[in-house]
Structure 1
Amino acid sequence: MSAPEASQGRVAVITGAGRGIGRAVALVLARAGYSLCLAARSRDELEETRSQSGLSHERALIVLVDLATEDAPDLLIGAALDCYGRIDVLINNAGWAPPRTPLLKMRPVDVDRMIAVNLRAPIALTRLAAAAMTAQGAGTIVNVASTAASKAPSGEAVYAATKAALIAFTRAAFHEMRLSGLKLSVIVPGLVDTALIPNNKRLARAAMLSTADVAHAVMQIVNSPAGACPVEVMLEPQLDPERPR
């Protein structure tokens, strides 16, 4: 049985699916035969992702949601279950950060949004999806973090903290999920060439990871046997994009 045939009837929920890593992951999952629940704040971007996936509207649900709001996880998981009746894969990809800002100049509203989108929402979505997956007896959850968690760049103190906390959450919850037959993993990529990285002559974009690199790593986790699922996958570019040449 081919991979697309094996995946028929299965459903993947992807946050931040309107562009970048989220779109790349959605397209790979669509090619593998999954129906999609695409979540983000921009309808136009989600419509473009759905168009590129080649899936019908019945197999590619669009959910407009702002994960900084407290009820967003319930609304998203509820919409996916109402539409499809199951969730087989959850990709917690959405993230947010302002431009690099010294801590003393950072606005409290930006701090709150980073914590909500980068940490609170993935935790809530993991809990809700895991409940549905446990009833099914299987499921995969992938969180997308960042090497900022360990490199902790100046001007990214809060962002780095949220990503470090997401890694710690995943590693702790990994063991609990395995007891229910679920897979939980976190991908920790270095700089990825997306629109979120501003143009900077000091950055070598060709040295960055591509969104396809991250999407392929996601699929390796999705396709791995439960007993061989890695808790953490590090993705490093071949060269340091920030190192002067």
Structure 2
Amino acid sequence: MSEEKSLAGKTAVVTGAGRGVGRSIALYFARAGADLAICSRTLAELEAVKAEVEAEGVRCIIAAVDLANQEATQRFCADVMTEFKSIDVLVNNAGAELENGKIEESDPQNWWKTVEINVRGPYMVTRFLLEGLSEGAKIINVSSGMGKRAGNSNSAYHVSKAAMNMLTDALANELWPRRIDVNNLIPGPVATSMLNKDKPGDRRTTPEEVLERFADALPPGFPEWERLKHPDEVGELALYMATRPVGGPTGQSFSLARRPL
């Protein structure tokens, strides 16, 4: 990791930062010198990340927030603006996959809550922080290749990520006059505990343990040409995106996902 403080004097908000990809992004930003506001649904995980972030000599505020709840989301954003006054980088990372079966067998409540968290959540966080984004700020929406194609199951996630891609394009157009760049980050499969869905009690939850478990083959449903990434690879790409010069790429997708030749 670079020791360069490329985000010194900047402030960043990262949602879903309690573990996995969000945690890695938060730590990369902290090591680059950014003060942070982070949220997720689990306070204990946030407190652990806060300690790691503050060990880098930067400020960090935390809040346990369900991004499907408008009141809680708006309160978090108001607290962020009270603390930091302006925001230079916003990473909409929080997401959920609560209904991954076929539509005919799906639970309507879980199907819709997946869409709420994955689309309405980023919309609300962006909406409530928009006035406080600095000129030249960056918005990074963590999306998925699943938003670019339909599958034969898990429709809520496919639909929500397709909507996220369109939200990115709309924001890029709207915020062009303020020189705010809005881009998608597509990680592809990442070594997080979410891959242990077939074994809910599996204690192998660190990226290294998950990488070891799937060293020979990815879980069913992933293309054979894909590679499992460490969350830090996503953190590194997010930092690259956050430090592009003002007027850089906008309305684009930066991807770690592989594609067949």
Q: TM-score, normalised by structure 2?
A: 0.82
Structure 1 match to 2:110: 110
Q: How many Å apart are 1:154 and its aligned residue?
A: 2.5
CA-CA distance at 1:57 after TM superposition:
9.9
Partner of 1:234: 255
Among 176, 188, 211, the alignment partner of 2:231 is: 211
* Mapping 1:156-235, distance limit 5 Å: 156-198=154-196, 203-204=217-218, 207-230=227-250, 231-235=252-256
Aligned positions, number = 235
What is the rounded CA distance, in whole Å, between the counterparts of 2:9 and 2:184 in structure 1?
Answer: 25
Unaligned ranges ≥5, structure 2: 199-213, 220-225
Instruction: Give the Cα–Cα distance (whole angstroms) in 2 for the partners of residues 27 and 14 of structure 1.
Output: 10
Q: Where does 1:95-106 land on structure 2 (aligned, <5 Å)?
A: 95-98=95-98, 100-106=100-106
Deviation by residue 1:153-200 (Cα, 9 ceiling, x = unmatched): 322111100001100110122122121121111112211111111266
Once the two structures are superposed, what CA deviation does each residue of 1:13-43 show, in whole Å capped at 9, x if it has no partner? 1100000000000000000001111101111
Post-superposition offset of 1:222: 0.7
The question of whether the paired residues in 2 share the 8 Å contact of 1:63 and 1:79 is answered with: no
Question: Which residue of 2 is the match for residue 87 of structure 1?
Answer: 87
Distance 1:57 1:99, change over 3 A: farther
Structure 2 CA distance for partners of 1:79 and 1:56, relative to 1, 3 Å: farther
Cα distance change on mapping 1:150 and 1:60 into 2, 3 Å: same
Unaligned runs of 5+ in 1: 240-245
Matching of residues 4-15 of structure 1 within 5 Å? 4=5, 7-15=7-15
What residue is the counterpart of 1:125 in the other structure? 125
Between Structure 1 and Structure 2, the one with more helix by share is 1
What is the percentage of aligned positions where both structures have the same residue? Answer: 27
Residues 39 and 194 (structure 1), Cα distance of their counterparts in 2 relative to 1, 3 Å cut: same
* Paired amino acid for 1:176: E
Q: Are 1:24 and 1:211, in contact at CA under 8 Å, matched by a contact in 2?
A: yes
Per-residue Cα deviation, 1:76-100 (whole angstroms, up to 9, x for no partner):
2111111222211111000001263
| Partner Cα separation in structure 2 for residue 61 and residue 179 of structure 1 | 30
Partner of 1:243: none
Please report the RMSD computed on the Cα atoms of aligned residues, expressed in angstroms.
2.4
